[in-house]
Chains A and B, each alone.
Chain A
Amino acid sequence: MPDQRLPAATFEDLAIPLFDQLYNFARWLTQDTAEAEDLVQETYAKALRGFSTFQAGTNFRAWIYRILRNSFLSSKTGLRTTVVFDEEDHESAPSSDSPTPESLLISQATRETVQQALEELPVHFREILLLCEVEEMSYQEIAETLAIPTGTVMSRLFRARKTLRGLLQQKLGGGQHGV
């Protein structure tokens, strides 16, 4: 039976459009320009070498983000900063998290305040928030990227948001930023 599929996309077709996003993500992870550049370059080199193992039709974005993240984890900075909260991840997310009057103020926080709070988040919270909110990945894509079950994605996201909210409340309570 003849192969009816479209010709497979080339590495350039798939990888080049993701360059800016990958850099942004790498820069957030490493918190350093030179390290972020090294990480992106390493990611592209590894992805290029391993492209023959990438299965056409599967999620290229999750695949290349996973390469970037694994490279980061094995880097000096990654090894130093990564803290794994496996136990916490296995706890189920509370069924509710009622907004407090403070949390309504958080929505007014400036961009810089949110950026500072994101910087202060543990890496595993920062990365999952970025994948969800900035990259707009589905839970399934995040699960593939981070190599964790979808349930863990949900509970970790919940904790990340809760921690971010706490950090923002502290900052706004300090009166330095926000309205």
Chain B
Amino acid sequence: MACDAWRGRLDAYLDGDLASAEARDVSVHLRGCAICAADALDRLQMKRSVAVAGKRYEPSAQFRAKVMKQVAAKPRRGTGWGWRIVVVPALTVLIVSVAVSLYVQRDSARRQRVYSELADLHVAALASATPVDVVSTDRHTVKPWFQGRIPFSFNLPELQGTEFTLLGGRVTYLEQTPGAQLIYQLRKHEISVFIFQDRGPETAASSGPMHAVSFNVQNWTQNGLRYFVVGDVSANDIEALSKLLRDAG
């Protein structure tokens, strides 16, 4: 092959874009041809000069920070539901494992587990980036939001004249049963109100106040629904909110 033909392949050879067999042929030729070797060296030096000269500009720290912030503030896919991808399977595993262990344990242990589970749901909700899915202080907004999301309806109390504020609600699960979780605020404390369909022993927990895992809990059954009120406020405050709910229900 004439040197001209070899030179036609030199760029692709030096750019690393020749197939390995072809590259081997060029390499063999270059070892035996001083003119082509000098040509290749010249092209290689040009490549290197451009590579060095081309790395010229660096972004300012200020601009870098601006773009990083822009990237970090990106909207999450499926806004408002993203947390479920992580939280729901984790809670489901927890609930299933709790349900299995409940089955073989005594009722007293079972009650304790239900409370622990509710305490976990309460903490998990508050720790979530989106503690509530319907954000509203208006019970007339929150209550209809649950329609079609849970298989029952409930009434919420009027809070005017009380210290309690409704923050919003979300759908939750206890022992694979969907229910409503409402979050109320009292001073700086959040209180969860869980409402499930009463399924007899399955959601059993003897009615009445109880202290569980650093939280005060109140629960009762009313009109076929099981209510749990969980929070780190005093038993009296829990009872005050419970009374409002009972009166409304």
A19-B59, A28-B54 known; A44 and B70 CB under 8 Å?
Answer: yes
A111→B58 CA distance, assembly (Å): 16
A67: CB under 8 A from chain B?
A: no
Residue in chain A with minimal CB distance to B7: A96
- Asked whether B17 lies within 8 Å of A139 as measured between CB atoms, the reply is yes
- Asked whether A96 lies within 8 Å of B8 as measured between CB atoms, the reply is yes
A81 to chain B, nearest CB (A): 17
A167→B108 CA distance, assembly (Å): 89
A115: CB under 8 A from chain B?
A: yes
For B8, the chain A residues whose CB sits under 8 A away are 93-96
For B7, the chain A residues whose CB sits under 8 A away are 95-98
A19→B55 CA distance, assembly (Å): 13
A53→B60 CA distance, assembly (Å): 30
A11→B68 CA distance, assembly (Å): 12
Task: Please tell me which one of the listed residues B4, B39, B71 contacts residue A15 in the complex, with CB atoms under 8 A apart.
Answer: B71
A41: CB under 8 A from chain B?
A: yes
Q: Which of A16, A97, A103 has the most CB of B within 10 A?
A: A97
B33 to chain A, nearest CB (A): 13
A118-B50, A133-B51 known; A107 and B45 CB under 8 Å?
Answer: yes
For B248, the chain A residues whose CB sits under 8 A away are none
B88: CB under 8 A from chain A?
A: no
B127: CB under 8 A from chain A?
A: no
- Asked whether B15 lies within 8 Å of A139 as measured between CB atoms, the reply is yes
For A157, the chain B residues whose CB sits under 8 A away are 11, 15
For B11, the chain A residues whose CB sits under 8 A away are 154, 157-158, 161
- Asked whether A48 lies within 8 Å of B74 as measured between CB atoms, the reply is yes
Interface size class of A (residues with CB under 8 A): 35 or more
Q: Which of B42, B46, B53, B72 has the most CB of A within 10 A?
A: B53
- Asked whether A12 lies within 8 Å of B53 as measured between CB atoms, the reply is no
A134: CB under 8 A from chain B?
A: yes
Residue in chain B with minimal CB distance to A12: B71
Contact with B along A93-129 (1 / 0, CB 8 A): 1111111000110110101101100100000000001
At the interface, is chain A mostly helix, strand, loop or mixed?
helix
- Asked whether A24 lies within 8 Å of B54 as measured between CB atoms, the reply is yes
- Asked whether A111 lies within 8 Å of B67 as measured between CB atoms, the reply is no
Q: Which of B17, B38, B64 has the most CB of A within 10 A?
A: B17
- Asked whether A133 lies within 8 Å of B47 as measured between CB atoms, the reply is yes
B5: CB under 8 A from chain A?
A: yes
- Asked whether B74 lies within 8 Å of A11 as measured between CB atoms, the reply is yes
B21: CB under 8 A from chain A?
A: no
- On chain B, the number of residues with a Cβ less than 8 Å from chain A's Cβ atoms is 39
A62: CB under 8 A from chain B?
A: no
A130→B15 CA distance, assembly (Å): 13
- Asked whether A98 lies within 8 Å of B46 as measured between CB atoms, the reply is no
A96-B7, A97-B7, A107-B45 known; A36 and B57 CB under 8 Å?
Answer: yes
Residue in chain A with minimal CB distance to B57: A27
Residue in chain A with minimal CB distance to B74: A48
For A97, the chain B residues whose CB sits under 8 A away are 7
Task: Please tell me which one of the listed residues B3, B57, B67, B74 contacts residue A24 in the complex, with CB atoms under 8 A apart.
Answer: B57
A164 to chain B, nearest CB (A): 7
For B74, the chain A residues whose CB sits under 8 A away are 11, 48
* A-B pairs, 5 with minimum CB distance: A107-B45, A134-B54, A114-B53, A95-B8, A27-B57
Where the two chains meet, the residues of A that have a C-beta atom closer than 8 Å to any C-beta of B are: 11-12, 15-16, 19-20, 23-24, 27-28, 36-37, 40-41, 44-45, 48, 52, 93-99, 103-104, 106-107, 109, 111-112, 114-115, 118, 129-130, 132-134, 136, 138-139, 154, 157-158, 161, 164-165
Additional A-B contact list (6), CB under 8 Å, known A52-B77, A98-B7: A12-B72, A23-B63, A28-B54, A107-B46, A114-B49, A158-B11
A-B contact pairs, 20 of them (CB 8 A): A11-B74, A12-B72, A23-B57, A24-B58, A36-B57, A40-B67, A45-B70, A95-B8, A96-B3, A96-B8, A97-B7, A99-B43, A104-B38, A107-B42, A112-B53, A115-B53, A118-B50, A133-B54, A139-B12, A154-B12
